[in-house]
Structure formats: C-alpha cells, structure tokens
Amino acid sequence: MPSKTPIIRPLDSADLSAALAIQSEAYPPFLREGADAFASRLDVPHSFCLAASDSGTIIAYLLAHGWRREDPPPLGVVLSPGVPSEVLFIHDLAVASGGRGSGVGRKLVARAFELASDRGLSSAELIAVEGAAAYWRTLGFAEASMSPRLAAKVAEYGPSARWMTRRFGPSGALQP
C-alpha cells in the first residue's frame, strides 16, 4: 500500500518504461499506446503530465495537456507540438494495482488543474473509457453533448467511452 503522501512531480521521459508498464496493467490492448505516442504528450506546450511516486517507484501517472476544445486526439497518434491550448485535455490516468484506492488519482488530477489554471485554462475535457465515467463524476466531470464529428472520435475509444467535461476555478482546486 502506498504512503499517504506520494510525491507528485512532472512525468518525464525517464519514467516512460514504468508508465508503460502501468498502462499495460490498467488497459486492454486496444487502448494501449506505443512509446512514441505516449512520449509525445510530454512534449506539447502546456504539458501537465504528472507522476506519483512512493519510495522512488511510480505508482500512477496522468497524461494531460492543453489542447483544442472538443477535438480529442486519436488513440496512438504522435501529437504535434503546435496545437493551441484551449482546454486541459486529460488523455490518460492510470494507477498501478498497489496504488488503487489510495486517492492518488484525485491528487494527480487536482495538481493538473492547479497547473492548468496557472496557464489560464479553466475547463477540462476527457474521454472516460472502460466504465470509468463513474469515477470521473466523483471529480466533478459530467457527460456532455457531442457533435457527430466528436461522437465519431469518442467511438474510437470503445463502445463504453463517454465524453465528459468540467470547469475549474482560478485556483484549479478540486472540490470534494
């Protein structure tokens, strides 16, 4: 079981193999992304990708970055660094089995909100996969209406994928 206060820090390329191992544990094969696509999220401007570590071991990661509103990137695509930052796009949150139930995911999202707020962003978007919509609701996200174009993109993430959004205030703080 992780400590009550994991260290939250920027995710960097040295963390890639550990993060990919957590991704492999957390997601079915069709939702796993290759190292190049995964690493490209670290290089976009306004990257808010984070790692949670306990005793030097990564127990969770968050891939989040500034992106265009209502335009999620396709799975497995290497991102271009020239995309405008209109919203915080939460691409992926994964927690290793030993860290689940510890609240570390909430801590990662809260920190990303703070960082994004400092960069002038005030809303977040994500695609909840594999039944995770209930979890995201606990963090204040709600399902949102979609254009046909957006619905087609969301469908690429699987039959249970849900488009979700939420606003956050100037402090970026997550409310209980």
Does residue 18 carry a pLDDT above 90? yes
Does residue 3 carry a pLDDT above 80? no
Q: Left, alpha or beta for 59 (phi > 0: left; psi -120 to 50: alpha)?
A: alpha
**Count of residues for the chain?**
176
The correct CATH number of 7-167 out of 3.30.420.40, 1.10.10.10, 3.40.1030.10, 3.40.630.30 is: 3.40.630.30
Q: What is the pLDDT of residue 142?
A: 97
Say which amino acid occupies 18. Answer: A
Q: Please give the average per-residue pLDDT across 90-113, as a whole number.
A: 92
Q: Largest Cα–Cα distance in the chain?
A: 46
Does residue 2 carry a pLDDT above 60? no
Q: What is the pLDDT of residue 98?
A: 83
Q: What is the pLDDT of residue 176?
A: 43
Q: What is the pLDDT of residue 171?
A: 63
Whole-number Å distance between alpha carbons of 72 and 90: 9
Give me the residues paired with residue 12 across strands.
none
Whole-number Å distance between alpha carbons of 144 and 152: 14
